[in-house]
Amino acid sequence: MKEFYDTHAHLDFPDFRDELPEVINRAADAGISRIVTIGTDLESSQRAIEIANRFESVFAAVGWHPNDCMEAPEDIRIQLESLAKSSKVSAIGEIGIDHYRLPSSRGGTETDDAFFKAKQVQLFRQQLEVAAELGLNVVIHQRAAFEPCLEVFEPFANRVRGVFHCFVDNPAAAKRVLELGSIVSFTGVCTFKNASEVRETLSSVPIHNLMLETDAPFLAPMPFRGKRCEPAYVREISEVVGQTLEVSLDTLSEATCKVAKDFFKGLC
Ligand SMILES: [Zn+2]
């Protein structure tokens, strides 16, 4: 069986609380031999580290998600840095900019939006500083904010590589990410019937610049769309990615695992 990695899952989410060993075993049975579990705030990051310490095949990324920026401390750097020094931490993330869910979409004002956006930038920048300082790469979440996200990231791009996760933007956007020395990763979205644009972008990306991920418990691929997603489903994603890139699963396995090993510290 071909070996693949799930480079982005949220194993600390309550969805998995009652059956974590089973979820990880099902992944292993499907050939998914490594999982990077991604923190979304300090507590979630701490849980990610605990899970990584418990299961040999699991590694952790620590970071604070932009959607939860209003709950973040004024300065996250010292706490994040101390988490990031834990032995199985292989990246900072997920971090970034998200303009999809602004306060105004929940009854807030324009002033609330401006404050929220500024807070996201501050939080993103502080976490990029920690990554640069520690020599770690970053897992980037970006939604409806490609330009604002690049604007913050670009000054760090010579010191930190990013993976723009769950990539759904156009080929030109992917090209700009790659030109910064960063990479992209694809979720089950690329298996959706109506996602031909995502597959078009996917086919434009050289195989040594991409990784596979589930974003579990979200975004289950076909034929599980709408259900809870889990790392084993990288298998279904790999099949569609292989077909789209017109490469064998052997080639895809070798390429994507190598990209992940180069990207994530300590992943071996
Ligand atoms: Zn995620």
Q: What average pLDDT does range 108-123 have in this prediction?
A: 97
Kindly report, residue by residue over 5-38, the tens digit of the pLDDT.
999 999 999 999 999 999 999 999 999 999 999 9
CA of 97 to the centre of ligand 1 (A): 13
Query: How far is the centre of ligand 1, averaged over its atoms, from the C-alpha of 180 (Å)?
Result: 22
What pLDDT does residue 150 have?
98
Q: How far is the CA of 208 from the centre of ligand 1 (A)?
A: 22
pLDDT confidence band for 268 (50 / 70 / 90): confident
Q: What is the pLDDT of residues 213-264, one digit of tens each?
A: 999 999 999 999 999 999 999 999 999 999 999 999 999 999 999 999 999 9
pLDDT score recorded for residue 13: 97
Confidence of residue 45 (pLDDT cuts 50, 70, 90): very high
pLDDT of residue 183: 98
The neighbouring-strand residues paired with 61 are 38, 91
The structural domains of the chain, ordered by start, are: 4-263 (3.20.20.140)
Q: Is 46 left (phi over 0), alpha (psi -120 to 50) or beta?
A: alpha
Q: How far is the CA of 8 from the centre of ligand 1 (A)?
A: 6
- Ligand 1 center to residue 2 CA distance, Å? 24
Q: How far is CA 86 from the centre of its chain?
A: 19
Write down the pTM of the prediction: 0.97
- With CA atoms as reference, report the closest residue to 256 among 202, 212, 206: 212
Give the distance (Å) from ligand 1 centre to CA of residue 215.
5
Across residues 45-57, what is the average pLDDT? Answer: 98
What is the predicted pLDDT for the residue at 112? Answer: 95
Give the CA distances from residue 4 to residues 28, 34, 165, 215, in Å, rounded to whole numbers and listed in that order: 10, 7, 17, 15
Q: Which pLDDT does position 82 carry in this prediction?
A: 98
- Report the separation in Å between the CA atom of 217 and the middle of ligand 1, taken as the mean of its atom positions: 9
Report how far residue 171's alpha carbon sits from residue 91's, in angstroms, rounded to the nearest whole number.
26
Rounded distance between C-alpha atoms, residue 80 and residue 132, angstroms = 13
State the distance from the centre of ligand 1 to the C-alpha of 74, rounded, in angstroms.
23
The token duo for 222 is: 């076909």
* 108 Cα–ligand 1 center, Å: 25
Q: How do residues 83-115 score in pLDDT, each as one tens digit?
A: 999 999 999 999 999 999 899 999 999 999 999
Please check the confidence at residue 70 and state whether its pLDDT lies above 90.
yes
Whole-number Å distance between alpha carbons of 257 and 5: 6
